[in-house]
Amino acid sequence: MNAESGFEIKPVYRPGDVSPDASIGEPGEFPYTRGVYPTMYTKRPWTMRQYAGFGTAAESNARYHQLLAAGTMGLSVAFDLPTQMGYDSDEPIAHGEVGKVGVAIDSIDDMRRLFHEIPLDKVSTSMTINAPGSVLLLLYQLVAEEQGVPGTALQGTIQNDILKEYIARGTYIFPPKPSLRLVADTFAYCRKEIPKWNTISISGYHMAEAGASPAQEIAFTLANGMEYVRAALAAGLAVDDFAPRLSFFFVARTTLLEEIAKFRAARRMWARVMRDEFGAQDPKSLMLRFHTQTAGVQLTAQQPEVNLVRVAIQALGAVAGGTQSLHTNAYDEAIALPTEKSARLALRTQQVLAFESGLTGTVDPFAGSYAIEALTDEVEKEATALIERVFSYGSAVDAIEQGFQKQEIETSAYRIANEIDSGERVVVGVNRFAAETEERYEPLRVDPAIEAAQVARLAALRADRDSVAVETALADLAKAAGGNENVLPLMKEALRLRATVGEVCHTLRGVWGVYHPVERF
């Protein structure tokens, strides 16, 4: 059979299939094939996150309290589409989307509700937000300061990976160059103000969900990572000042062995790039630390309970591959937002792996397997060749603007779809072992009245705040955006005065413009 990355998986692997100079090494030592820490999970398990956010900030806050009570160790915030695109809930373009795929956050008032009675010095928070990532981070910092928590105590991650939006997802706002400037400004701001924060989560997950193979996922993700490093260096930052806070975000599929190999290959590829190309000296700059989410695209609406098995296998691959944190999807996510019960079951899956499976008793338990080591070499070979093709265009941005990564992903997605349609690749319950009838399922539904309530709150905010002060702060932000000044301190002041997410983003749109991809036929 063939791996999803395209190469052949042999029926039997033998010692000769493993490269004699394979860089296996020791856990916690360069090139980190076996893990970034010597003890990995033997001292404590990975961080168990659950991605949640829907409707209003108050509803999402209640879900966070439930997850924390159930044993979640970190929060992961989903934002609705208007927030992701930098629009307020009362803008016409937001109509019908408020609170649908995540929580609506328009201002500091909403951020206060979202984290009400959650001690921000005790939790680690990951926020899936990209183009307006710096805006949401500053709102989080402001709420923490109101709790008496300094920026030096905050821990978490903003996704902040704009390049993959141009490739696979589409929630970009600004053109690539000012977007990269905003990323570099965030690196510099956090080093000074929020030093424990992971300033970016360079993401292959969304490319994988769009159809990227495992080799494509890590190749295009690492190429984007290299582009961010270059942007930060061009902005005058020293590599070891920001590289230790870079983090990554990958998918975990049901193809267990290839996924374990993918994670191991990605670690050693990044270590070599940072040492050999960028001259990083700090060992933390060489360590590819990553969050994993199980593969939503592989969940099926048919026989949804089977997704419980899929998620368990996917989570097993992430853990055996050495992830630093993990989100397990709920079995009903192919149908609707997860219910409280299904979200709890997803968390319990991680807890069974951590406390019942024995996986945490040893580091990199698959190391030395002929199959795993050979597959690690194969994935690395395929991914390295793809990175070279990306940079043959000049840069990752140049390749994006030429549509290279998008075309490659679409070709891979088409190949897998054909394999499923032909029955060559089995999807249980879909093209084999289908049920004659399906049990009725009652999904979680978002109340459409949420939008009206959110709009009313925005009207009250605008009536109550000092509008002149807000306008002055936004004008100062626009002036900074037109020059070379770091824009984050001015953003923070505008948000503190209760400027909205949409107003801040529109101010930057007015200076930087918006990105319109070139259609290629």
Which helix H or strand E contains 386, and what residues bound it? Answer: helix 370-391
Whether residue 328 contacts residue 52, with contact meaning beta carbons closer than 8 Å, is answered with no
- Give me the helix-helix angle, 488-496 and 133-146, nearest 10°: 60
Amino acid 337: pLDDT: 72
Round to whole Å and give the CA distance between 128 and 165.
Answer: 12
* Residue listed under structure tokens 């930052």: 237
3-state SS, residue 325: strand
Round to whole Å and give the CA distance between 438 and 482.
Answer: 57
Whether residue 48 contacts residue 325, with contact meaning beta carbons closer than 8 Å, is answered with yes
Residue-by-residue DSSP string for 230-294: HHHHHTT--HHHHGGGEEEEEEE-S-HHHHHHHHHHHHHHHHHIIIIIT---SHHHH---EEEEE
Eight-state DSSP code of residue 176 = H
Amino acid 67: pLDDT: 83
HSE (CB half, 13 Å, CA atoms) of 125? 25
Please indicate, yes or no, whether the overall pTM of this predicted structure exceeds 0.85: yes
Round to whole Å and give the CA distance between 275 and 288.
Answer: 12
Amino acid 299: pLDDT: 94
Domain ranges of the chain: 1-20+200-355+371-422, 45-158+447-516
Round to whole Å and give the CA distance between 508 and 134.
Answer: 12
Q: CATH homologous superfamily of domain 1-20+200-355+371-422?
A: Methylmalonyl-CoA mutase (3.20.20.240)
**Residue 319: closest CA among 286, 365, 279, 278:** 365
Whether residue 270 contacts residue 288, with contact meaning beta carbons closer than 8 Å, is answered with yes
Round to whole Å and give the CA distance between 311 and 321.
Answer: 15
Round to whole Å and give the CA distance between 280 and 127.
Answer: 27
Amino acid 52: pLDDT: 63
Amino acid 191: pLDDT: 93
Q: What are phi and psi of 158, to 5 degrees?
A: -110, 140
Eight-state DSSP code of residue 361 = G
Amino acid 521: pLDDT: 42
Whether residue 443 contacts residue 49, with contact meaning beta carbons closer than 8 Å, is answered with no
Amino acid 516: pLDDT: 83
Mean pLDDT by 10 residues, the chain (521 residues): 87 90 86 96 90 78 88 85 97 94 94 96 93 98 98 95 94 94 96 95 95 97 97 94 94 97 98 98 97 94 93 98 95 82 92 96 95 96 98 95 93 90 88 77 71 95 97 98 97 98 98 82 42
Amino acid 333: pLDDT: 85
Other Cβ atoms closer than 10 A to 114 = 26
Amino acid 53: pLDDT: 63
